[in-house]
Structure 1
Amino acid sequence: MNNRQFEKIQNGQGFIAALDQSGGSTPKALAGYGVPEDSYSGEDEMFDLVHQMRTRIITSPAFDGDRIIGAILFEQTMDREIEGKYTADYLADKGIVPFLKVDKGLADQKNGVQLMKPIDDLDDKLRRANERNIFGTKMRSVIHEPNQSGIQEVVEQQFEIGKQILDADIIPIIEPEVDIHSDNKEKCEEILRDEILKQLNNLSEDEHVMLKLTIPTNANAYKQLIDHPRVLRVVALSGGYSRDEANAKLKENDGLIASFSRALAANLQANQSEGDFDKALKEAVDTIYDASVNKR
């Protein structure tokens, strides 16, 4: 494991950019960027276009290691190059720690939650991640209802796979997202916190994980998790909130930093000039950085 990157993630001032839209969410990401589905044909062309979008973001002077401490990549982005370097190496040269999305999407809802689909090729992904100098991984489940057994199953699945990732000398980001539209979001978060604490307390002293969580209804509801010695960092997803709303909520939570996707790229368009694109990205980066480091 890269000790310099470990220290940056643990103590660095800034946030983690989420650039990990995959097959199912890529058309929506491209549409938001101003590239409609009828403008390309087939997956190969679609992924070429999304790599061009990500390359434009990553190579922008606004995307720098002074404000962005890490970036989460899709598998194809990890395997592609930017200016002659594999994406993770290009990011590392900018002082940005690379992560990889490893899940294969969500299973159907049951017991108020959506577990992850089986990741049958995880060992191979982790081997390739090490070859590509990836520091950490990310995997997502979703919680819709305050169902005790369902939430327990989500957390247990996340930590079981997380330990497999730790065995590969890679840091896992555990992401049990609580749906912001849940009728009882606050209760979901209480159950989730307690279930995560159970799992954290079972980790050994040399095992560390990261957590990626929905910004809680009650400010600092996850403070116990942020302060836990087995937690390297807790980051927040925007979860469908607008950037302004997500930033305002984030500021209320001490020690919580952003890991935004849609809120980061919301005002970026394919037809923008380089100057306008860089300006829009800089505004997003600056405001998300401010919400991550400047608390009450």
Structure 2
Amino acid sequence: MTDTAMADRIENGAGFIAALDQSGGSTPKALRLYGIEEDAYDGDAEMFALIHDMRCRIMTAPDFTSDKVLGAILFERTMRDTVEGVPVPTYLWKNRGVVPFLKIDKGLEDKENGAQVMKPMPGLEALLADAKAMGVFGTKERSVIHEANAAGIKAVVDQQFEVAKTVCGAGMVPIIEPEVDINSPTKAEAEAILKQEILTHLNALAEDEKVMLKLTIPTEDGLYVDLADHPNVLRVVALSGGYTTDDACERLARNPKMIASFSRALAEGLSKQQSDDEFNAALGSNIDKIFEASK
């Protein structure tokens, strides 16, 4: 069984989910946007230490609390690390009232039929057991759809729900993330196909198999309202997908029953070179914008 207080917070709370789960491939870009060039560190250990410092700065900021932030998605290294001497999942929930999630995918396979499915996840059951023991509520797993190819979209959704059932079996709630590329020339058509595939799988879930959906903000406003109303869905959240913070928030505000789960848009304008006051003001402004768009 999932933690009842966390489940109630996610299903009924006001706010958004922060994505703090940049992995090995996306970390250099995230650090560069934060004002740290690749020649400033040597090897993965130093790189991950720097990104952890950035995440700690975000998690300990005055505005990063349950007042506006519902949950946070963590990279595995972050989950196993500490903030202010406290294990990160414990700190988030006990000190901030923020529900912890874990990114579990290992990256993407090459494009086939206009889509990228997830790479194999060896040791998934052991990782889920560790995460559960550390107080993590749910997971997140990402695929990418590049075009309106029915076979490719079906492969993505089939795999996502197969993994989701494993996560549910471990007593956790999966965030299913079949991202549609915002630059796809057939974005709207792909989203229509995706919605139907998701509905087919949702209707096949057992009553106690609860999931969340993390979707690109749709071209057609309100497209995913009935997914949010499905009895097996705790929440539908939106990824920023490369939109600027202002653009992502403006688009999200037009979509009822979707809340934000932003990564790059959350960290926009943040810099290692900023004083704590400057950093906290910039982060607070982003949090306010994302919170308002998620209402």
What is the deviation of 1:238? 0.2
**1:20-169 superposed matches below 5 A:** 20-93=21-94, 94-169=96-171
1:177-225 per-position Cα deviation (integer Å, ceiling 9, x unaligned): 0000001100000000000000000011111100000000010011110
Which whole-Å CA distance do the structure 1 matches of 2:3 and 2:83 have between them? 22
Counterpart of 2:97 in 1: which secondary structure?
coil
Which whole-Å CA distance do the structure 2 matches of 1:267 and 1:90 have between them? 25
Is 1:239 aligned with 2:238? Answer: no
Which whole-Å CA distance do the structure 2 matches of 1:131 and 1:83 have between them? 20
TM-score (norm 2): 0.99
1:229-281 per-position Cα deviation (integer Å, ceiling 9, x unaligned): 10000000000001111000000001100000000001100010000000000
Pick from 228, 231, 239: which aligns with 1:229?
231
Counterpart of 2:106 in 1: which secondary structure?
coil
Which whole-Å CA distance do the structure 2 matches of 1:218 and 1:104 have between them? 31
Which whole-Å CA distance do the structure 2 matches of 1:219 and 1:226 have between them? 14
Which whole-Å CA distance do the structure 1 matches of 2:199 and 2:254 have between them? 22
1:166 is matched by which residue type in structure 2? C
In structure 2, the gaps of 5 or more residues are: none
Which whole-Å CA distance do the structure 2 matches of 1:14 and 1:282 have between them? 13
What is the deviation of 1:75? 0.2
Which whole-Å CA distance do the structure 2 matches of 1:105 and 1:253 have between them? 28
Which whole-Å CA distance do the structure 1 matches of 2:246 and 2:132 have between them? 36
Which whole-Å CA distance do the structure 1 matches of 2:225 and 2:290 have between them? 20
2:258 equivalent in structure 1 = 256
What is the deviation of 1:84? 1.4
1:27 is matched by which residue type in structure 2? P
Counterpart of 2:294 in 1: which secondary structure?
helix
1:285 equivalent in structure 2 = 287
Q: How many residues in Structure 1 have an aligned counterpart in Structure 2?
A: 293
1:194 equivalent in structure 2 = 196
In structure 1, the gaps of 5 or more residues are: none
1:194 is matched by which residue type in structure 2? Q
Which whole-Å CA distance do the structure 2 matches of 1:10 and 1:85 have between them? 26
1:161 is matched by which residue type in structure 2? V
1:146-180 per-position Cα deviation (integer Å, ceiling 9, x unaligned): 11111011000000010000000010000000000
Which whole-Å CA distance do the structure 2 matches of 1:227 and 1:212 have between them? 15
Identity %: 56
1:64-114 per-position Cα deviation (integer Å, ceiling 9, x unaligned): 111000000000000000111110000002110000000000000000000
1:88 is matched by which residue type in structure 2? P
Which whole-Å CA distance do the structure 1 matches of 2:271 and 2:123 have between them? 35
1:10 equivalent in structure 2 = 11
1:212 equivalent in structure 2 = 214
